[in-house]
């Protein structure tokens, strides 16, 4: 999740604001072998960096692919991880938003939208 230096935080002020809110924890499942992870996670890393998210609020879980195609790794079963990248946003142990590989928006934008929607509905 090495941040992409070309990601432009000034173009995404609402995203940076939403991701930088207090108390959010980001759980990220991915693998170096996964082309989707290699293409999507650097921009997400840059967004977290721009939002000032401390490293201790970002949990990385390396995922491998078993011979049958299933995913194996830390907390894969506990969180029902089937596709990667998957990012779960939590606050105080409660899941607030989840991005799964197949979404059509960038990770940061998708999660920021879900967090704002949740805030508006509370």
Residue the block writes with tokens 């079963």: 77
d(Cα 117, Cα 122) in Å, to the nearest integer?
A: 9
Mean pLDDT of the chain: 95
What pTM does this model have? Answer: 0.95
d(Cα 12, Cα 65) in Å, to the nearest integer?
A: 33
Q: What is the mean pLDDT of residues 30-47?
A: 96
The whole-number pLDDT of residue 69 equals 86
Q: What is the mean pLDDT of residues 15-28?
A: 97
d(Cα 113, Cα 59) in Å, to the nearest integer?
A: 21
Q: Residue 51: helix, strand or coil by DSSP?
A: coil
pLDDT digits (tens, 9 = 90+) for 41-81: 999 999 999 999 999 999 999 999 999 988 999 999 999 99
């Amino acid at each position: 999740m090495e941040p992409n230096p070309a990601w432009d935080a000034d173009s995404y002020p609402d995203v940076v604001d939403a991701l930088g809110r207090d108390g959010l924890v980001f759980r990220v499942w991915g693998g170096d072998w996964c082309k989707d992870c290699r293409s999507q996670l650097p921009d997400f890393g840059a967004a977290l960096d721009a939002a000032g998210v401390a490293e201790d609020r970002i949990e990385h879980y390396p995922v491998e692919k078993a011979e049958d195609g299933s995913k194996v790794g830390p907390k894969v079963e506990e969180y029902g991880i089937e596709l990667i990248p998957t990012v779960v946003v939590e606050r105080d142990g409660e899941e607030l938003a989840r991005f799964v590989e197949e979404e059509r928006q960038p990770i940061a934008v998708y999660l920021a939208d879900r967090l704002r929607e949740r805030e508006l509905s509370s």
